[in-house]
Each structure stands twice: as C-alpha cells, then as structure tokens.
C-alpha cells in the first residue's frame, strides 16, 4: 500500500513538472511567433509611412498598416505580461499580533513581492522587453487584497473586512493592519491578486517590542455577602517572546479583605510560560470579612487592580505608596493590569430566643411568655412578621406581631399569649413560633421555635380541703387507737 502511494506521488510530481515545462515551452513558441508578427508589422508600417509621405499610397492603406502594428504589439505585450504574472508571487513575511495602549488587539500582516527572486528566469526573455512601457518594466504587483478569516468557519474576523494594497514594488514589502473582531492565536490569511487566490493558515507571532502580560476577566464586577468569597476567572495572554517570570499582585483592596491566586488546585504568586504557550487561565479568590466598617461598606463598590509584573516593574512598584496608587501610576509601569470591583452585600439573619420553651397549665388557663427577636446579620431587617402554628382550636395573641425594621445587632422583645379552647383535653400540645423577614428585598432564612405545653386537669378547692380533713382524721384515729392498745 505504501509502495503504491509512493508511486502515485512520484507520478503526480512528474506530471506537474511536465505541465510546467509544457507551459514554459508554449510561452516561448508563442513569444517567437508574436515577435515575428510584430517585426513584420513594424517593418511594413515603416515602409508604408515612407510611401504615404511620398503620396504613393492612400490614407486608408496607411491606417490599416498602423492598426496592424498596434494589434501585433498588444498581442506581444499580453504574452510577456502573462509570463511575468505567472512568475510573480506574494509571500507572507510576518504576521504579528499586538495590543494597543487602549487594549485593542490588532494583527499586522507584512507581505513581500518575490518577483525579484525569479529575475534569472526572466532574463532569458530580456530581448522581448523593448515593447514594455516604463510602468510595465517597474515589476510592480498591483491590487493585492488581504483578509483574515477564522480557521473553523471561515468567517472574516478582521476589520477592515478586506484590505487593499495598491501595489508592491519589485522585492519590496507592504503591510496590512487589522483590528481583531474575534480574539485568536492562529487564523487564515487570504490573498487575492493577479487573478489568483492564496490562503495560508498562520500561527500569529507576538509583538516582541512589548514585554507585557495582558489580563482579562469576564466577571470584572461581582457581588458577595460579608463572610463569603468571590471568584474571578482571569485570562492572562503573553505579548512577549521572553521567558521571564511574572509576579502576580492585587492592589487597592482594604487590609481586611484577603485574596489568593489559584492555578487549578494550587496557590500561585508567580507564573512562567512554557515554549509555544501564550495563554494561561487562573482564578482570583477574594475573601470578605465578617463585618462591615469604614473601609468595607455595604453596597459600596470597592475597585482594585490585578497586576502582572516583571522583576523590574515589581522593584519600581515596591518603592511607591501602594495604598495611594492611582491608575496613572499603573499606566507608567506599562504592566499587564485589569481593574475589578467587588460590592459587599450584607446578609440578614434572625435569632429568636426564649428563656423557657416548656410550660404546664391547667384546663381553662393560658400561657404567657416573652421571646427576644435579634438581628444577628449584617443588613437591616424589614417587615419581621411573627406567627404561630397552633393546635386545632388554640389561639395566640402576639404583641407586636409585625416589626417594621430592625438594625444589625439590635433586638426587641415580643410577648406571646397562648389561649387553649374551653374544652381543651388533658395532655401535651405543641405551638410553633415562626418568623418571616426581608433583607434587601430577599427572604431571610429563619428557624422555627417549638413551645411544648402540658395541660393538666383542673382540681376543686373544696374537694382538696375535704380530702385533707379526711386524711387528718384518719391519722388522728390511728394515733388514738394506738394509745388505747398501749394502756391495756
């Protein structure tokens, strides 16, 4: 199978070379014929010009001779232009991806005409170049159209969509500069010129003039409750050809807020790129404190910067007042940076306390108790409603049953009276105390409290007195009887 494939490749190569040789031979023969026609037409025109001046031929015959010369000259020039167009070729010298000061990603394509490289081949046709005008002899490749396309779906991802280069001098370079509409490290460069279309898949080179790591985060602004964390996904792209180690740093966060960089499952503070790798994905975790203060205020955004620094940039930054650093100072460092923000949010939390959740009562009585409702969270609570889940026929009176607002760390006392029905039976019953509240228009998780009540039968006071008297008389009778027995 491999032998057959090798034979096919050799045959294909030979056919290609054979066709190229045939094309070259055909052009040579056509050039000789066109040259002969041109020489005959030229000689006839010169003779007819002399005869016309001597009035030996008519103007009509002279014009026919002149037109025939022009026709043969045009045919001759067309063949030579065809020869040059077959030999002209535009190559892609460089394709560099870079980033502007505004963070715009661009690609610069540098093209070069390689017609000069085929000059040795063209020299054999030098004798025919006498019919060329100066513009024809300039060796320019005209109207080169350049575009950038995505490798997967062939969509144009460069702006302008198509870039026109008017011409490229023989052996000279020209460039086309595009804005990337879609970020990519490799793409397809499409060239259209001289009736041909050339496509090349290109891996973009990074601009070596800028030793910088560009940082981007799609989740640049996040909200997080106090005592929780926020995670920012970071994409770090290298615009450099150096193998420097880059330091990661966050500035602008209050001291109470801690952070860490995560690469997979490892904590990192420095990064280094492997050969051929230009992009890394990291995570930045920011941890908020339990309580707010002057620097960490609820609902007030905190802006901060993520930096990627070379050793020189890190040294320059270390002598600055990091607490008061401004965006202008970061721009002067020319380092990779991304501004992020975090918005601390308070969290509502209710605590319900009671000194006693077990009570005993007699049939027909009621139970009165106090509970304390406390805001144990970090955000004001609104519309705190206290309700109870009662046994069938039981009622409760709650004062107050609605608390409009309750600030953090504040508490209020609520009195609850539990009223059983008149025909309540003897036994154990349960009453659940429920609370509902809102914090920043969000429901607050609450914990129900259960009050257990033991209902006992009601006893008569007269029956109790009679029972006591009978018991006393019984005891006296026993004592008297004992005394009588001892006297015998």
| 3-state SS, one letter per residue, for 223-245 | EEECCCEEEEEEEEEEECCCCCC
Residue 481 lies in a domain: no
Are 309 and 382 part of one and the same domain? no
pLDDT tens-digit series, residues 123-172:
555 555 555 555 555 567 788 999 999 998 999 999 999 999 998 877 78
230 assigned to some structural domain: yes
Q: Tens of pLDDT along 350-409?
A: 889 888 899 988 888 888 999 999 998 888 899 999 999 999 888 999 999 899 999 888
- Asked if residue 425 and residue 332 are part of one domain, the reply reads no
Task: Give the pLDDT score at 130.
Answer: 58
Tokens encoding 339: 């501004």
* 389 and 427 both lie in a single domain: yes
pLDDT band at 21 (very low <50, low <70, confident <90, very high): very low
Residue 107 resides in a domain: yes
Supply 394's token pair.
Answer: 């039981």
Residues 228 and 320 in one domain: yes
Q: Which two tokens stand for residue 434?
A: 């429920």
**The predicted structure's pLDDT at residue 17:** 38
- Asked which of 165, 187, 206 is the last residue of a domain, the reply is 206
* Mean pLDDT, the chain, whole residue set: 80
Beta partners for residue 9, in sequence order = none
| CATH, residue 275 | 2.60.40.2310
Asked if residue 146 is part of any domain, the answer here is yes
Average the pLDDT over 269-298 and give the result.
86
Q: Which of 257-261, 363-367, 415-419 has the lowest mean pLDDT?
A: 363-367
pLDDT digits (tens, 9 = 90+) for 190-244: 999 877 888 999 988 877 556 677 888 888 899 988 888 999 999 888 776 666 7
Q: Is 273 helix (H, G, I), strand (E, B) or coil?
A: coil
40 and 116: one domain? no
CATH code, domain with 76: 1.10.287.470
At 129 the pLDDT is 55
In the structure encoding, which two tokens stand for residue 22, read together? 């045939």
Q: pLDDT at position 452, please?
A: 93
Per DSSP, helices labelled H in 419-460 are: none
pLDDT-derived band at 327, boundaries 50, 70, 90: low
Q: Are residues 219 and 328 in the same domain?
A: yes
471 domain-assigned: no
For residues 219 and 341, membership in a common domain is answered with yes
Same domain, 444 and 321: no
Q: How many domains would you assign to the chain? A: 4
461 or 217, higher pLDDT: 217
According to DSSP, the β-strands at 402-406 and 395-399 are: unpaired
Q: What is the mean pLDDT of the segment spanning 291-316? A: 86
Residue 251: CB atoms within 10 A of its CB come to 16
Q: What is the pLDDT of residue 431?
A: 92
What was the pLDDT predicted at 259? 93
Residue 156 is given by DSSP the state B
Within a 13 Å sphere around the CA of 177, how many CA atoms are in the beta-carbon half? 6
According to the model, what pLDDT value does residue 398 have?
92
For β-strands 395-399 and 196-203, DSSP reports them as unpaired
Query: What percent of the chain clears pLDDT 70, i.e. is strictly above it?
Result: 81
Q: Is the dihedral of CA 455, 460, 463, 469 positive or negative?
A: positive
Confidence check: pLDDT of 98 > 90: no
Q: Are residues 117 and 202 both part of a single domain?
A: yes
The two tokens of residue 198 are 């050339």
Where is the domain boundary, 56, 87, 118?
A: 87
Tell me, yes or no, whether 359 and 427 share the same domain.
Answer: yes
Residue 472 lies in a domain: no
294 domain residue, yes or no: yes
pLDDT band at 109 (very low <50, low <70, confident <90, very high): very high
Residues 332 and 219 occupy one common structural domain: yes
pLDDT recorded at residue 482: 74
Query: Which CATH number covers residue 420?
Result: 2.60.40.10
Domain that holds residue 108: 90-206
Evaluate whether residue 480 is within a structural domain: no
- The number of angstroms, rounded, from the C-alpha of 210 to the middle of its chain's C-alpha atoms is 23
**CA 207 vs CA 17, 27, 50, 236: distances in Å:** 40, 45, 67, 15
The pLDDT, as a whole number, for residue 84 is 60
Are residues 399 and 326 part of one domain? no
Q: Tokens for 380, please give them.
A: 């004001």
């Amino acid at each position: 199978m491999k032998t057959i494939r090798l034979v096919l490749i050799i045959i294909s190569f030979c056919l290609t070379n054979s066709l190229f040789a045939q094309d070259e031979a055909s052009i040579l023969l056509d050039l000789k014929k066109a040259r002969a026609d041109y020489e005959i037409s030229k000689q006839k025109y010169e003779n007819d010009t002399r005869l016309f001046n001597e009035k030996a031929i008519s103007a009509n015959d002279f014009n026919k001779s002149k037109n025939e010369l022009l026709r043969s000259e045009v045919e001759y020039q067309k063949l030579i232009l065809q020869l040059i167009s077959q030999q002209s070729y535009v190559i892609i010298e460089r394709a560099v991806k870079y980033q502007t000061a505004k963070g715009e990603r661009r690609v610069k394509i540098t093209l070069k005409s390689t017609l000069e490289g085929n000059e040795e081949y063209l020299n054999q046709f030098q004798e025919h170049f006498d019919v060329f005008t100066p513009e024809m002899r300039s060796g320019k490749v005209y109207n080169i159209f350049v575009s950038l396309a995505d490798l997967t779906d062939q969509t144009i991802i460069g702006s302008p969509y198509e870039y026109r280069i008017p011409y490229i001098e023989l052996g000279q370079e020209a460039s086309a500069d595009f804005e990337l509409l879609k970020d990519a490290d490799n793409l397809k460069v499409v060239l259209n010129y001289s009736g041909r279309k050339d496509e090349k898949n290109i891996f973009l080179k990074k601009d070596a003039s800028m030793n910088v790591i560009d940082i981007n985060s799609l989740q640049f602004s996040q909200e997080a409750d106090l005592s929780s964390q926020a995670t920012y996904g970071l994409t770090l792209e290298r615009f450099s050809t150096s193998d420097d180690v880059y330091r990661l740093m966050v500035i602008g966060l209050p001291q109470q807020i801690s952070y860490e960089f995560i690469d997979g499952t490892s904590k990192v503070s420095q990064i280094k790129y492997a050969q051929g790798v230009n992009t890394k994905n990291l995570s930045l975790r920011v941890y908020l404190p339990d309580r707010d203060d002057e620097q960490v205020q609820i609902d007030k955004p905190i802006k901060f910067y993520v930096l990627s620094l070379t050793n020189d940039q890190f040294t320059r930054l270390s002598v600055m007042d990091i607490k008061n650093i401004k965006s202008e100072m970061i721009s002067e460092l020319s380092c990779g940076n991304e501004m992020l923000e975090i918005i601390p949010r308070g969290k509502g939390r209710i605590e319900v306390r009671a000194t006693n959740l077990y009570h005993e009562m007699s049939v027909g009585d009621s139970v009165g108790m106090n509970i304390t409702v406390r805001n144990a969270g970090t955000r004001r609570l609104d519309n705190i409603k206290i309700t109870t889940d009662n046994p069938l026929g039981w009622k409760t009176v709650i004062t107050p049953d609605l608390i409009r607002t309750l600030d953090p760390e504040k508490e209020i006392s609520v009195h609850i009276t539990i009223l059983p029905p008149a025909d309540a039976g003897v036994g154990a019953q349960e009453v659940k105390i429920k609370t509902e509240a809102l914090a920043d228009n969000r429901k607050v998780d609450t914990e129900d409290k259960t009050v257990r009540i033991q209902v006992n039968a009601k006893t008569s006071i007269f029956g109790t007195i009679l029972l006591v008297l009978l018991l006393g008389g019984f005891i006296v009778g026993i004592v008297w009887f004992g005394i009588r027995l001892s006297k015998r």
